[in-house]
Structure 1
Amino acid sequence: MTTPTTASPGLSTYRESVTLDLAALVDRLRAVLGARLVAYLGGVKETRAVRQWAAGERVPSHVVAQRLRLAYQVAGLIVESQNSPAVVQAWFQGANPQLEDRSPARVLREDDTDGVGPQVLSAARAFARIG
């Protein structure tokens, strides 16, 4: 995830979430969230699948790929506001009042990304602003 180079927070991470090859995206997401959290988001039980996705040896379903791209964008928003990977991980796993006290990871995993994507992004933007 890159440091913001524009006046629009999250724009560079959004661009990366759309343009990065999925293996590279998973590798970068794993570096921030850790393999276990990426596996949870991807709906798999073993981190081996995450390693295989990152190596390009295996391709997740379209729905999972969409979820991982959204998670990358969300994580990037929080990283851009100078937060460590530990803070990003805690944010993804903690109960969030903007998401009816559900964790962002759970919301992303269990709900349709088209429906909840804007809510999770809004919660991430709010956190990034206030820290």
Structure 2
Amino acid sequence: MQTQRETTAENSANRDTVRQTVADIARFLQDTFSQRLTAHIAGIEDAKQVGKWCTAQNAPRIDSELRLRAAYQVFQTIEHAENSHIARAWMIGMNPQLDDDSPLQAIAADRFKDVMAAARSYIKGDL
């Protein structure tokens, strides 16, 4: 059963994610993690495409958008429960629940549910 803190963090993150355009999400991830890492998350090799997404010159393929939205939502979930510095560190750090991959690496590998489960565990204090 989820605590009030977990439910509030997840609901706020979900609302934030749904309301953002893909350009806004790409820009946020680029500003937070770098253009190159955002390209990795999205599963593309040309990091310059991220800049084009940020300015809405073009849009990512659906599989890339799914990864970007997942990364944004998980980041927002941790940030709502903690703060942006902790959320960034959590997203790039090794995670034992993800076989020592970082949450960003796991998202790039389409392991969205595993990452959200790890985020919930973190918020609960299980890890």
Superposition TM-score, scaled by structure 1 size: 0.77
1:84-131: per-residue Cα shift (whole Å, max 9, x none)? Answer: 34x3333222221111222211211123xxxx3222112112223438
- Structure 2 stretches of 5 or more lacking a match? 1-6
RMSD: 2.1
Change (3 A) 1:101 1:29: same
The answer to whether the 8 Å contact 1:32/1:88 transfers is no
* 1:126 to 2:121 alignment: yes
DSSP-derived class of the 1:60 partner: coil
Cα distance in 2, alignment partners of residues 39 and 94 from structure 1: 18
* Partner residue in 2 for 1:97: 96
Among all aligned residue pairs of Structure 1 and Structure 2, give the percentage whose two residues are the same amino acid: 31
DSSP-derived class of the 1:8 partner: helix
Superposition TM-score, scaled by structure 2 size: 0.79
- Structure 1 stretches of 5 or more lacking a match? 1-6
Please give the residue correspondences for 1:17-32 in structure 2 after superposition, counting only pairs within 5 Å: 17-32=17-32
Cα distance in 2, alignment partners of residues 117 and 15 from structure 1: 17
* Partner residue in 2 for 1:4: none
The answer to whether the 8 Å contact 2:106/2:112 transfers is no
* Partner residue in 2 for 1:3: none
Q: CA deviation at 1:63?
A: 0.5
**Runs of 4+, deviation exceeding 6 Å:** none
The answer to whether the 8 Å contact 1:81/1:129 transfers is no
